[in-house]
A and B are shown apart, each in its own frame.
Chain A
């Protein structure tokens, strides 16, 4: 099983054991919504997700500096790149970059690599050296969130107009 193998490989990125998942309060029970404080941002680490609920198996949150190492691990294990996108966590003052990977063979294993950067200076390294197909995905993420991909060969607007200086998927974007 590739999932088990990859789990062990990815685990080497985290010398400290991963703490328990934080999404515990999500399920059911309509408690008083107003009293619930949002959970703090998740610490870096590797989680196994329930595939039948979430649609993916492994979920690794890493530091931006570890990105190239983690993506190389997936490349070595013959994963293909599904997509790259961002999420604006404005309350935590952070931007998240999410990388989706999957496989062509029948050994099903979907992997999500995510990394968080500061909202003011969002810079992550590019992975176009490893996956050339990341090129457009990174340009699109730069369009929508203003995340800079350090070392990207051609980081100009892709879907937005060529003179666009706005990032529409930021939560504080006003049209």
Chain B
């Protein structure tokens, strides 16, 4: 028989959360030094599914690397591909037809909604509510079906090409997207009634894990983490790219700085994405989806190039150093959750462990995207 371990009043113990733990949504490990229920210190250990995409970027030609981007963030893959194609198009001077850009924006926004829906379900499940996940997945399924019909895949899309798209949208897609918008708006009302007003839910998030503006800046946080702390920062507005200046949408900003603010930002973003999709469908111009003239071999001139885009998880940056060859000389992927997760160690000190797990959920982590 083992005798129970007795701790001295001031003694701390080490608790390993992960690398295989449902609350971490992937292979993430947090080494926590605990004093009872309170976290004294935490060290996040990442890299369990590091695949070295950046080296692959150097070894592959530009088109060969297209499919790698969607393997980073499997929930909002199109945003990452968007950044990559925009960067290479900018560097090599390829002009994209307007129709292609509109379709890209529509697809990215639909993908963003799908990603937020999954986050919503998983987040509420972290807090102990199971059924919202099922509702959220049902709505998400509609988006995945739509995207599958056009792109050919459900998660790991390889839909964008340098200069345009792999496949044009058809009437079925447009009809399905138009049907989806009112459906999603109705669902949002349901989610707010079901979850947002729930007293247990609110008690677990309100005032928990406050992140100051200064801390966000020192760590380079973006997405709902920054916008929940009162920072009006959205790459689509701050550094407009693609056809986003053509759309009328708002950036939800909350000043409470707590986990609930981060939740509210993402919920409001779903509505804003719906507005973009709606306007995109209305404005969708005709014409080709690939340019007439496109270089056979993509060889951007020597130099440095940078492109930032707003993905479902925040500001994704991609830096290309070209030496004029057919492979990138260096390709750096700046993933948003990498920075968002980094501030966890500092922010969770002194927190109770259950609050820290709720906080972790509010960061919207996708581990393959941190580890790359």
Binding site for B on A (CB under 8 A): 23, 26-28, 49, 52-56, 59, 78-83, 85, 87-88, 98, 100, 102-106, 108, 110, 112, 131-133, 135-136, 144, 157-161, 168-169
Beta-carbon contact of A112 and B304 below 8 Å:
yes
CB distance from B296 to the nearest CB of A (A): 13
B304 contacts which chain A residues (CB < 8 A)? Answer: 49, 54, 56, 59, 112
**C-alpha gap A106/B232 in the complex (Å):** 9
Question: How distant is the Cα of A82 from the Cα of B233 in the complex, in angstroms?
Answer: 13
Task: Please tell me if the beta carbons of B319 and A83 are within 8 angstroms of each other in the complex.
Answer: yes
18 contacts between A and B (CB under 8 A): A23-B302, A49-B304, A59-B304, A80-B218, A82-B315, A87-B329, A104-B232, A104-B238, A131-B218, A133-B219, A133-B343, A135-B342, A136-B342, A144-B54, A157-B47, A159-B371, A160-B50, A169-B330
**9 other A-B residue contacts (CB within 8 Å) besides A131-B220, A159-B46:** A53-B305, A55-B87, A56-B306, A85-B330, A103-B238, A104-B238, A105-B232, A131-B218, A169-B55
Q: Residue among B90, B217, B321 with the most chain A CB within 10 A?
A: B217
Q: Which of B90, B301, B317, B339 contacts A26 (CB 8 A)?
A: B301
Q: Is B226 in the interface zone, CB < 8 Å from A?
A: yes
CA gap between A28 and B92 in the complex, in Å: 10
Nearest A residue (CB) for B55? A168
Min CB distance A169 to B, Å, is 6
Q: A132-B346, A158-B47, A169-B54 are in contact. Are A23 and B303 (CB under 8 A)?
A: yes
Is the Cβ of B301 less than 8 Å from the Cβ of A55?
no
Q: How far is the CA of A103 from the CA of B220 in the complex (A)?
A: 9
A141 nearest CB across to chain B (Å): 10
Our count of residue pairs bridging A and B at CB distance below 8 angstroms stands at: 112
Q: A84 vs B324: C-alpha distance in the bound complex, in angstroms?
A: 23
* Contact residue among B91, B218, B219, B239 (Cβ-Cβ distance under 8 Å from A108): B239
The 3 residue pairs across chains A and B that have the minimum distance between CB atoms: A133-B219, A55-B306, A159-B47
Interchain CB contact under 8 A, B238 and A106: yes
Please give, as numbers and ranges, the residues of chain A lying within 8 Å of B58 by CB-CB distance: 169
B285 to chain A, nearest CB (A): 23
| In the complex with contacts A26-B301, A157-B47, A108-B238 CB distance below 8 A | yes
The chain B residue sitting closest to A107, CB to CB, is B238
A157 CA / B45 CA spacing, docked (Å): 10
B229-242 interface mask toward A, CB cutoff 8 Å, 1 = contact, 0 = none?
00111000111000
Residue of B nearest to A91 (CB): B323
Which residues of the other chain, A, contact B237 by a CB distance below 8 angstroms?
A: 106
Shortest distance from the beta carbon of B277 to any chain A beta carbon, whole Å: 25
Contact of A81 among B52, B218, B306, B371 (CB under 8 A): B218
Cβ of A82: which chain B residues have Cβ within 8 Å of it?
220, 308, 315, 317, 334
CA distance A79 to B214 in the complex (A): 10
Question: How far, in whole Å, are A59 and B306 apart by their CA atoms in the complex?
Answer: 12
Which residue of the partner chain, among B91, B226, B232, B332, contacts A85 with CB atoms under 8 Å? B332
Please state if B307 and A55 are interface contacts (CB–CB under 8 Å).
yes
Considering the complex, give the chain B residue whose CB is closest to the CB of A135.
B342
Chain B residues with CB under 8 Å of A54's CB are 303-306
Contacts of B218 in A (CB 8 A): 80-81, 131-133
Q: Which of B301, B315, B317, B339 contacts A27 (CB 8 A)?
A: B301
Is A158 within 8 A of B46, CB to CB?
yes
A100/B334 contact (C-beta < 8 A), A53-B90, A78-B217 known:
yes
Flag whether B338 is at the interface (Cβ < 8 A). Answer: yes
The CB with the most chain A CB atoms within 10 A, among B219, B233, B304, B334, is that of B304
Q: Are B324 and A133 in contact (CB under 8 A)?
A: no
Q: Which of B220, B319, B346, B372 has the most CB of A within 10 A?
A: B220
Determine whether B188 belongs to the interface, using a CB cutoff of 8 Å to chain A: no
| Contact code string B298-340 (vs A, CB < 8 Å = 1, else 0) | 0001111111100000010101010010000110101000110
**Least Cβ distance of A135 to chain B in Å?**
7
What A residues does B184 contact at CB under 8 A?
none
A102-B237 Cα distance, complex, nearest whole Å:
14
Interface residue B264 (Cβ < 8 Å from any Cβ of A)? no
Kindly state whether residue B155 has any CB partner on chain A within 8 Å. Answer: no
Residues of A close to B315: CB separation below 8 A: 82
**Set of chain B residues within 8 Å of A85, measured between Cβ atoms:** 319, 330, 332
A52 to B83, CA, bound (A): 15
The smallest beta-carbon distance between A84 and chain B, in angstroms, is: 9
